[in-house]
Every structure is written in structure tokens, then in C-alpha cells.
A and B are shown apart, each in its own frame.
Chain A
Amino acid sequence: MKKKTNFHMPSKYVLLFVTLFCAALIFLTYSVDKVSGPIRTVANYTIIPMQKGLNQIGLWIEDRGNYFVDLNATLEENARLQEELEELKVTNSEILLKRSEYERMQELLELKDEYSDYETVGAKVINKGAENWFNTFIINKGSEDGIEKDMNVITKGGLVGIVITVGPDWAQVRSIIDDSSSVSSMMLSSSDPCFIRGDLKLLNEGEIRFEQLENNENEIAEGEQVVTSNTSEKFLPGFLVGYVTDISVDANNLTRSGTVTPAVDFKQLQEVLVVKTLKKQIDIE
């Protein structure tokens, strides 16, 4: 015996209706970003708390896996590091001495360290993305912590990515290894501009691509540092992106391209720093 339902809509009409609804959503997010706000707020109270908890389990499993593999290696490494530590203690004191000297000189020259005074906020990676095609992740800080769209995300090693969407308590970050990411950068030694593009094809080798580097007389050697450039629209200048591993002249003979190993280990990414200064603000100043 089935209960009588008063109204029954054939599934093809439902399909049509929801299709139109989706199309409208796509259109609305594309033209005016009004829809995503409420949805993202709802997500804040449903998915995010669960993810925060479960990611801990994920990390724990990863840790266990690494634990056994690493134990032997760690013991050997430990012995080696002990020796190294002794040596480093000596060099460290030398360096400290030199640094105080350097600071004094800097004061004399009245050089201001531009990059050290960016205000940053620490955040944890709580979700590494549910897609194999793209490399975005979610962090546990959002608009309530002062995070805004287009803020740069870094670690101590270098540039990680950029904030693309913000919820009240979370934000989505597109990493520089993402296939659709493009960062305007430059070679450190020659200051020649180039573009750093993520490439899914190079992802497994742990590399990204640089393109459109002018083919001039400036030699670029392997290991050359690539940093974000002044001309970038969204990225702050001077963040380390990675090291050149391979370089070749393009077919047009005008530009060079090649691969770069990112300075950040994206597989082990757990904590990041969000730079609260936006590129726009600097440009205005």
C-alpha cells in the first residue's frame, strides 16, 4: 500500500527545472557574485566543522604511514645532525656577529626592509580539495579574521598561492601549482620578467612551468631563483617561487621557457601564512 501523493512531477521536468536553476547560478556567479555569499555562510556551519575534525584523522594516518618508513632514516639522520649541530653552533656565533654589523650598516644607509613588515596571519589547511584536476585547498581562517580575496598565501619557504573565495570562517586558496594558476614573476639575477604557470602534467614530478622569458644575453643557470615581480597585479613582489631546473629556447627564438621546482613542499602543506597586505594597497601608496 502506497501513500497517495497529491502532486507528482515527472522526472524530466524536475531535470529541466534544476538545469535552469544551475544555469542561473552559473550565470549569477559569473556576472555578479551575489549567490555564493549565502551558500558559503551555510557551508560555514555544516561542512567546515566536520572537516576540521576529520582532517586531523587524515593527518594522523599520514603520520603513521611516514612513521615506520622514517624511523630508521631518522636515527641515522639524527647522528649526522648532531655532528652538524656542533659545527653550526660555531658558524652561528660568527653569523650573529656579522648580523649585528649588518644591522648597523643598514641603519647607516637608512635602508628599510620592505618585506619584513607585511602583516601576516597563520592558518591551518583543513581540506586539500576534493578534485584530482585542480589544486585548491581550504584554510581555517575567513572574513572574520580579516581575510580578503586576492590575499597572498606564503610559508616560510616561499609563495604558496592566492585566496580566491572567502567564507566567514574559511577561505579557499589556489596554489601556484594549480593548472589554472599564473604568476607574474622574474629571474632574481637578471630581473627579466616571466610567467609561472601550474601544469597538471608536471605535477607528479613536483614541478611547475615558466614561460615567456625573453631570450636575451642574460644567462640563466639551473638553480636560479624565481621571485614574484613588481608588475604582478595580485602578487606582492619579492616572494620566492622556486628554482629553475630546466631551460630551453622556444621555437619562436624570442622567448625561453622551462621548469621550476617550487620552493614550497605542497604535499606536506599544513600551516600557511596569509599576508594581510594587498597588492592594490601598496600600489596606491
Chain B
Amino acid sequence: MLRKIITFLLVTVCFVLQSTVFNSLALASISPNLLIVLTSSFGFMRGKKTGLFVGFLCGLYLDVFSGTFIGFYALIYMYLGYINGFFNKIFFDDDIKLPMVLITLSELLYGVIIYFCLFFPRGRFDFMYYLVNIIVPEVIYTVIITIFLYQIIRWIHRKLVAHERRRESKFV
């Protein structure tokens, strides 16, 4: 229960930060995508189901505040969280390489999906332009933020695991 509340709060705080403070820190009108970092991290840290729900929540926030159809972003983020969940088996707590690679790939995939779902159908065919000017800068900026944000997420994750272990041992 505590884990759920903390996860919910973390997603909420990240969304609010992304749409307010980080928007002011935008470089060349590109701001980092904290929600992808969250969705992806929870995916490979906790498995498919958690990734799925965190992604769903992140997407839902986006849908309500910036989307036109409710459910669209929720669907994309949910699948990203789920896919990241497959890597739960090869995830080790101390390893930073895998998280970085996974978050980068998720972010890249996300950009490509958004382009093909929302831009391509409206006759914006110049994929290379959007790749170079929107998708890649967003990936780079997000990866830089990840270096810091991931430490926080991992710290919270470790605290929660320790807390749960203590509680479980009490029940024995």
C-alpha cells in the first residue's frame, strides 16, 4: 500500500514538474520527458505489471492535460512500461548501463510512435527533420536528467524494499 501511494505521488510530482519548472528550463524549446524515465524505470525495476500501471497513470495525466483523446497517451506509455518489464530478469540494482540504455531506447521509441501517430497522418512527411530536431534532442536532454532522476528513483526503490523486508520479517 505504501509503495502504491509513493509511486502515485512520484508520478504526480514528476508530471507537475515537467509541465511547470522543466518547461522553463527548456533548451531550444525542448524539455526533458520525466514520465518516460519513470515508466521505464518502474518497468525494469519492478516488472511488467508495475511498469504497465505506472505507464498508464503517466499517460492518463498527459491525456487529461495535453491530449485530445483520453486514453491515447495512456496506451503508449502503458506498452512502454510493459515492454521494459521484460528486462526485469536481467536487471541488477547496481548496474547503471542497462537502465540508461533502456530509458534511451524507450524515449526514442516514444518519439517515433508520436511522430507516426500524430504527425505523419497530417501530411508531415519529413521524418528526418523531426528526428533530428525533436526526437533526438529530447532523448539527449532526458538522458542527462536521467543521471540524476534515476538515482532518486533507485534510492526510493531501495528504501521501500528495505521497509517491506522489515515488515515481512515481523509477520514471521
User: What is A's interface to B at a CB cutoff of 8 Å?
Assistant: 1-3, 11, 14-15, 18-19, 21-26, 28-30, 35-36, 39-40, 43, 46-47, 50-51, 54-55, 57-59, 61-62, 126-134, 136, 138, 164, 172, 179-180, 200-201, 203-204, 267
Contact = CB atoms under 8 A, between A and B. Distances in A.
B64 A36 contact: yes
B64 A43 contact: yes
Contacts of B24: 58-59, 61-62, 128
Given A26-B70, A43-B65, A201-B129, A54 B75 contact: no
Interface residues of B, number: 57
| Nearest 6 A/B pairs, CB to CB | A25-B71, A58-B24, A11-B48, A26-B71, A22-B71, A130-B19
A203 B33 CA distance: 19
Interface of B: 12-13, 15-25, 28-31, 33, 35, 47-49, 52-53, 56, 60-62, 64-66, 68-72, 74-75, 78-79, 82, 85, 114, 118-119, 122, 124, 126, 129-130, 133-134, 138, 168-169, 171-172
Contacts of A19: 75, 78
A281 to B, nearest CB: 25
A234 to B, nearest CB: 15
A22 B74 contact: yes
A83 B60 CA distance: 55
A19 B78 CA distance: 8
Instruction: Give the dominant DSSP class at B's interface.
Output: helix
B165 to A, nearest CB: 10
Given A47-B15, A51-B16, A201-B129, A131 B78 contact: no
Contacts of A203: 29
Given A11-B85, A132-B30, A200-B130, A54 B23 contact: no
A129 B20 CA distance: 8
Given A58-B21, A204-B133, A15 B65 contact: no
A133 B65 contact: no
A126 B65 CA distance: 11
Contacts of A24: 71
Given A47-B12, A129-B66, A180-B122, 15 more contacts: A11-B47, A18-B53, A26-B69, A28-B70, A29-B70, A47-B64, A57-B21, A58-B22, A58-B23, A61-B24, A127-B65, A130-B61, A131-B66, A133-B134, A179-B124
